[in-house]
A and B are shown apart, each in its own frame.
Chain A
Amino acid sequence: MCVQHDCSGCVNRRECLKLMSLSAVGASAWSTSVAAASEGPSPTDVVDPAKLRPKPEVRVMASFLEMPRPYWLGWPGTAYDLDARQKEYKELLAQSAQRLGIQVELRQQPINNEGDLTGWINEIKQKKPHAALVILQHFGCWGWASMVAKQSGIPLVIFSPIGMAFTGHVAGPARTPGIYVVSSLDWSAVEDGLRMVRAKRMFEETRVLWIRGNQRNETVLERLGTKVRAIPRDTFNQEFDKQPVTEEVKELAAQLRKQAAKIVEPNEQEALNAMRAYVTAKRLLAQENANALSMDCLGMVGAKLVPTPPCAAWTLLQDQGITAGCEADLWGAMSLMLTSYLLDRPGYMNDPVPETVHNTLIAAHCTSGSRIDGFDKPPAPYILRSHSESNIGVAMQVLWPEGQPVTLVRFTGPNDLIVDTGKVVGNVPTPPAGGCRTSVEIAMDAVEDCRDVQGFHQVVTLGNHFRVLRGFCELYGIKLVRSPRLSTFM
């Protein structure tokens, strides 16, 4: 039977035999899909993943705010060299804009009176940039900064170099939704603010495919502005069945195996199928004009609609900045998207397990990105494994660096974000453990009892990004929630 089963290599011999013994439902699905294979894409059709990541227009209007010169007493003081500092900040701003690929319109002359301020606010209202940036040059300018925020109605980044504020100046605006305050000499925090604006624009320009159920519709998420296009789950397995083993598939499968630190379960054919899933996903994203996806993968595996879970395919997508979420958990996918768009690195959504002997959290799933230090950095080592729960297909056990800080983030809706931090203390092997392949043990910061860690499918990402995430929440009015510092079990 297998000799006669000509499906362009969509399954291997073992799978073919397995398929032939499937239930009637599964078998009929396969016979249909085999017939459909001839209608599949051309072997030379290659979707460039870089084109799937949104590249929105981002416009920011900026100005220095200062008091009429010359200065005499009052911070920053007469000794403060306004021209030198403004020259320095102008250069830094131009460099940041170039690095981030955003447009910054800096007002040529600093604003030093209320009339000019009103004029600039009116200009903002007319031009409708995505955010404004003010660089304070006197501690008497805070009221003007608040006026910009209130009257323009757009997100505002306030840069207050040291010498422009006391705690009383910062406290109010820093707690006002829509404002991100940097009171520091560290320019990188201002660039982080601009990165937040870019990330928000990327959310707005993203269409996420929600592959589940049997409905086809489209909605928009509150606050983030992301479009959610629901498509029937069967779309994916039908497209997968049409996907031949192209040169692209072969090359990717070979790379996947070659770059692995070790291969445990998967054979070559399974690697080919995993990469067929990857190419299928890219093609589907391009067809639907979408930039991210979240799929009911477990349901598909349970129903035996595909020969491989998409774990390895999702890892590849994530490494290229394309959000690919598991189990059709939409807010899990949005959390993945946050690390991708704001922190420029992938993470993985996890099933959290409290380890009650060491008081740690074990974050487990089968789809970790491998470029965890950043999209432009070398990947972490990985071991090729099967998807643990089904023991089929290909999943990557990504080995996270011990001793390094991590951040856990989870949108529970558009208005709330859980953020916790910790440190990697180990990678848990399976076996002896069960669960999922990438299984990272984390000592939590500022959470007395690991049983109190909030959320499910939180996204683990490398590095301590609390400050940037808090700033993003402040700038866009998202409530930041942390797990309880003190035990609730006492």
Chain B
Amino acid sequence: MPKVPIRVLGLAGLIGVPAGLAAMGWSLAACLLAVGWTLAAEPVEFSSPGFPPSRMDPEGRLVEDWGVVAVRLQGEGLTEGSVKVEPGQLDSCIPAARATIDRGHVQMILTAFRSPIFPAGVDVLTVRLEEKAHQPIQVTLALDLPPQVKVGMSTARIDNRMILSVPMETLALLAVRDWGYCNQTAAMPGWAKPEGPADPAFANIRAGMGGIPILYRFRVEPKAQAIVILGICESHYDRPGIRPILCEVEGARPQRVDPIAQWGRHKPGVLVFQARDIDADGQIEIAVRPVPGAADRNPILNVLWVFPPGKTPNLAKLIAGQLSGSAKYYVDVGGQNDQCFYQGGNLQYPIQLPADGVKELTFLVACPGGSAPVPETTTWTPETLRQAARQVWQAWQK
């Protein structure tokens, strides 16, 4: 999973926007604002070659075949302001719609274009917040969706169709806690039936339904080492070979485990990792993934402990629940003591804007006939989505 460093720049800069995109994109966009963007009282349509359009309505909302998505900004000192919607082009070739919304303290600019990803494309909605009053401000950004939409931490669905997702690159820009899960997996309290002396957290799990990896992060000192211990108890299958899982901890050798083969059904077991913050970003990443080709590709995780480096704790005592209190972090995965790494709620994001600061968040929205990519498994990034649009439009115009 990519980790994007947060970069706080001045008025002319961006936060967390890839350098190439920043250089080519908004400097050009600024020119287009002067020469290429025209105000529209009507909705602005945009598309990719050969596909039906989406549109941005005069309120700056995206109108799709499944409904409407609106971006709402809340915060003390914000005023109600005018909305300007205009058509234009990005990179001199990509049709786009832009809404500029003046909220007094903060100017919000929404830009939407279609990225022509196979098979039907996806709409890329970028929200740029600019602090205008030379004072830091705390705001909350929220996405409003139709009532039938089921909203999660970083995705929104209507039945099985993913109509909106938040790229990992955007999540990485948000305010974070000291520890927590980083993606949307299913919490299943009471799923496991651990036998023998067992920490109560062994009874609960998170499951990555559909092959989604289970991702956690913990804050540490940059480059620090730690002992990470993962606790697993398989209570569904009674024979080996069905649900092996692959456990990866930053800086440590990955371990593949078949819980039934290793410990047996309902038997709690642990895996020890000598972790290290190898990329010096002050976080240790943990991932529990399905094994490719496994009959059951829904990975599970029950407990997670992080201890300071040094002597590995007594594992029998740890499994029995006698050492959880001495851990630096103890997570009852999918149970009571579990939390999201990112602050805020589902599709609601608290954002601290520094004086004259800028922050840019990207959201992927299902276009007519399409679906948004799954954040944990997609390799699309805001940068490559725009690159795809640029390449296709340039070739199409030839």
Contacts and interface: CB of A to CB of B under 8 A. Distances in A.
B22 to A, nearest CB: 14
A222 B292 CA distance: 19
Contacts of B120: 219
Residue in A128, A220, A414, A416 whose Cβ sees the most chain B Cβ within 10 Å: A220
A128 B20 CA distance: 10
A168 B253 contact: yes
Interface in A198-254: 207, 215-223, 225, 227-228, 230
Contact of A207 (B117, B119, B293, B395): B395
A150 interface: yes
Interface in B348-398: 373, 377-380, 388, 391-392, 395-396, 398
Contacts of A171: 253-254
Contacts of B116: 217-220
B54 to A, nearest CB: 15
Interface in B279-333: 279, 292-293
A218 B119 CA distance: 9
B18 to A, nearest CB: 10
A147 B277 CA distance: 11
Nearest to B398: A289
Contacts of B248: 175
Given A153-B2, A415-B377, A219 B119 contact: yes
A222 B50 contact: no
Contact of A227 (B50, B292, B373, B392): B392
Interface string A456-490: 00000000000000000000010111101000000
Contacts of B398: 289
Contacts of B292: 416, 479-481
A140 to B, nearest CB: 15
Interface string A141-157: 00100110011010000
B395 A230 contact: no
B278 interface: yes
Nearest to B18: A153
Residue in B2, B51, B293, B378 whose Cβ sees the most chain A Cβ within 10 Å: B293
A233 B246 CA distance: 44
A68 interface: no
Given A171-B254, A227-B392, A220 B293 contact: no
Residue in B118, B254, B292 whose Cβ sees the most chain A Cβ within 10 Å: B118
A378 interface: no
A214 B33 CA distance: 38
B279 A151 contact: yes
B2 A219 contact: no
B9 to A, nearest CB: 17
Nearest to A482: B293
A175 B254 CA distance: 8
B63 interface: no
A301 B244 CA distance: 46
Interface in B1-60: 2, 20, 48-51
B118 A481 contact: no
A150 B380 contact: no
Given A153-B2, A219-B116, A220-B391, A172 B279 contact: no
Residue in A147, A150, A219 whose Cβ sees the most chain B Cβ within 10 Å: A219
Chain A contact residues: helix, strand, loop or mixed: mixed
Interface residues of A, number: 35
B254 A222 contact: no
Given A146-B278, A150-B278, A218 B379 contact: no
B118 A172 contact: no
Contact of A147 (B119, B278, B388): B278
B51 A222 contact: no
Contacts of A480: 292
Contacts of A414: 379
Given A171-B254, A207-B395, A482-B293, A219 B121 contact: yes
A218 B254 contact: no
B252 interface: yes
Contact of B117 (A143, A222, A415): A222
Q: How large is the interface on B (under 10, 10 to 19, 20 to 34, 35 or more residues)?
A: 20 to 34
A52 to B, nearest CB: 15
Contacts of A484: 293
B5 to A, nearest CB: 10
Nearest to B250: A150
Contacts of B2: 153
Contact of A218 (B253, B293, B377, B395): B395
A396 B373 CA distance: 41
A289 B394 CA distance: 12
Interface string A395-438: 00000000000000000001110000000000000000000000
A24 B51 CA distance: 33
B138 to A, nearest CB: 31
Nearest to A290: B395
Contacts of A175: 246, 248, 254
A127 to B, nearest CB: 12
Interface in B259-293: 278-279, 292-293
B252 A217 contact: no
Contacts of A146: 278
A484 B293 CA distance: 8
A484 B244 CA distance: 14
A168 B253 CA distance: 7
A346 B51 CA distance: 33
A218 B392 contact: yes
Nearest to B291: A479
Contact of B118 (A147, A222, A479): A222
A114 B293 CA distance: 39
Contact of B278 (A143, A215, A415, A477): A143
Nearest to B377: A415
B50 A230 contact: yes
Given A146-B278, A172-B252, A227-B395, A217 B49 contact: yes
B215 to A, nearest CB: 14
Contacts of B252: 172
A192 to B, nearest CB: 21
A303 B15 CA distance: 56
Nearest to A486: B241
B278 A222 contact: no
A204 B318 CA distance: 50
Contacts of A151: 279
Contacts of A479: 292
Nearest to A153: B2
Contacts of B279: 147, 150-151
Given A150-B278, A222-B380, A217 B51 contact: yes
B50 A217 contact: yes
Nearest to A223: B379
Given A147-B279, A227-B391, A482-B293, A220 B117 contact: yes
A415 B120 CA distance: 18
A228 B48 CA distance: 13
Nearest to B51: A217
A221 B119 CA distance: 8
B254 A481 contact: no
Contacts of A230: 50
Nearest to B50: A217
Interface string B68-110: 0000000000000000000000000000000000000000000
Given A215-B50, A219-B118, A481-B293, 10 more contacts: A171-B254, A175-B248, A217-B51, A218-B396, A219-B392, A220-B388, A220-B391, A225-B388, A416-B292, A482-B293
14 contacts: A175-B254, A216-B50, A218-B48, A220-B116, A220-B117, A220-B388, A220-B391, A221-B118, A222-B373, A227-B395, A230-B50, A289-B398, A416-B292, A482-B293
Interface of A: 128, 143, 146-147, 150-151, 153, 168, 171-172, 175, 207, 215-223, 225, 227-228, 230, 289, 414-416, 477, 479-482, 484
Q: Lowest 10 A-B CB distances belong to which pairs?
A: A217-B50, A479-B292, A220-B388, A219-B118, A150-B279, A481-B293, A223-B379, A219-B116, A172-B253, A171-B253
